[in-house]
Structure 1
């Protein structure tokens, strides 16, 4: 398995510079409707960064080079000016609750990504997190590229250095949950995926025909679930990765990372065979805060266990696709 992952790493890894924009635009034109591209930014209280990301994508990939057809910001319940800033910068803003109203929305990133497929029209869907700083449009064009030039690739992950602070450097310094949880899980249980540099990264692109066949964990487990499920459904060669440089963004505190790790472990557990008689791990995590009265006070947090079904099983989605 290690040899397979190593061979895949050399064969299915590229840099954004390997495919100039002119080549991508030509490939898109040749692909016709199958080459339509939607960029989706899931956003929750990202007014400080979402505007610059939208402006950069519109300038570089919609005006200067006609690569992206649609730019959506999916607002998952922001209480700040995220929606206003995104709209002013030129994005189409859709609120999570406007989509499939018969099904009450749940909190979580995976929920927003799942619902975004109702709103997006492209056959290639590119997800970009809305908290990125010093954003470069290569984060989007780089991962869109292989889907336009390699017919057998279905999912493309961005890879990058992820410094923890302004002065830090190194690919793994800012990816603490990746290095402590996701990478060990993949190496132990899905060693074919050991060559994926940023398995939890929020920047990835995929064919709609793949995404609509996958279940979506509603919370932080969505990226791990997408990666593992794509491997099971399509095989390792359907996955690729592109080096886009350096990713700078807001970092969370240790307790938030602990809750994220618990969700990722739960997603992995649900995809592993459970021996007979083994009781599933409880869907929660207990953390501790120093109490004003002295000692430590426990705080219990639930861990997301809900997964949205593949969209090909949702009547409203299929009806909309037939109408389109």
Structure 2
């Protein structure tokens, strides 16, 4: 069972910032986006005001966009984020659509020792979505990867089901984990888009370029570092748009591809990006990674 925390454990932001600075850590936030004009400005402004200006827990806040055709990028920039197109990062690697592509490119672009990810469609954004996942990594050196979890209300014709969200988790991912990797079945939200990890963990694993990325992360981190490196934090409630059944079906197929590429024998899918640490350009940008690559060779 992964170790569990509550976001209140890390809500003393001055103390958390002091611990970050004492440890000599830099923290980067990535918000991956695609057509999020309805929420992105508030997501950026709330997190920037509280966690970069008032309490400097973050050292950078970057929106990495997949190619939105609405006002997402302009609104994010106006709210104070650095905004960059995923296709402009490592352009000679080509560009593939998908959330996992954004996250893979973020590992190269961001400079932090701890990389944090928050989705851009959160309707009830709060700094806890960042400090709740970053906090365990600052306070506990043995932890390398932290997932958020929360209640996810589902809006339906008959009203609001407070526990109805996370349908793919409950009907697909959790049964798979219970059968094949029971140590991970205790994760409340294995597909949560709010999580944080140490750079040296993310740079060493492949990234599916689609929605299989979060499942792949968990399986690869568990295989390489064990359950003790994984933790989860209760973030209370998350409100966001609910996806259609067609979208959930496509997501499920992508998750299955990532899952069975790793169970029982891990392989790399044709549609995955390789570990970032295998790119000479990345090792040149981060010399410490080059040393880690030599040790792992």
Q: TM-score range by the shorter chain?
A: over 0.9
Which position in structure 1 is the counterpart of 2:264? 273
CA offset digits 1:193-252 (Å, max 9, x no partner)? 011000001000000010000110110000000011000010001000111110111111
Which position in structure 2 is the counterpart of 1:236? 227
Q: 1:82 aligns with which of 72, 92, 113?
A: 72
Which position in structure 2 is the counterpart of 1:23? 15
Q: 2:112 aligns with which of 93, 105, 122?
A: 122
Which position in structure 2 is the counterpart of 1:313? 278
* Superposition pairs of residues 148-163 of structure 1, within 5 angstroms: 148-163=138-153
Q: Distance in 2 between matches of 1:197 and 1:234?
A: 20
Gaps of 5+ in 2: 290-297
Number of aligned residues: 283
* Superposition pairs of residues 100-249 of structure 1, within 5 angstroms: 100-165=90-155, 167-171=159-163, 173-249=164-240
Gaps of 5+ in 1: 275-303
Q: Distance in 2 between matches of 1:156 and 1:61?
A: 18
* Superposition pairs of residues 265-304 of structure 1, within 5 angstroms: 265-273=256-264
CA offset digits 1:278-310 (Å, max 9, x no partner)? xxxxxxxxxxxxxxxxxxxxxxxxxx8511110
Give 1:47 shift: 1.0
Q: Distance in 2 between matches of 1:39 and 1:141?
A: 11
Is the contact between residue 16 and residue 243 of structure 1 (CA under 8 Å) also seen in structure 2?
A: yes
Runs of 4+ in structure 1 deviating by more than 4 angstroms, as ranges, are none
Q: Distance in 2 between matches of 1:253 and 1:306?
A: 24
Q: TM-score, normalised by structure 2?
A: 0.92
Which position in structure 2 is the counterpart of 1:250? 241
Q: 1:164 to 1:53 in 2, by over 3 A?
A: same
Q: TM-score, normalised by structure 1?
A: 0.85
Which position in structure 1 is the counterpart of 2:28? 38
CA offset digits 1:27-71 (Å, max 9, x no partner)? 111011xx1000000000111111101000111111111111100
CA offset digits 1:68-123 (Å, max 9, x no partner)? 11000001111111110000000000111111111111111101100111211111
Give 1:323 shift: 9.3
Is the contact between residue 126 and residue 144 of structure 1 (CA under 8 Å) also seen in structure 2?
A: yes
Q: 1:90 to 1:102 in 2, by over 3 A?
A: same
Q: Distance in 2 between matches of 1:231 and 1:322?
A: 26
RMSD after superposition: 1.5
Q: Distance in 1 between matches of 2:20 and 2:217?
A: 25
Greater relative contact order (Cα < 8 A, sep 6+): 2
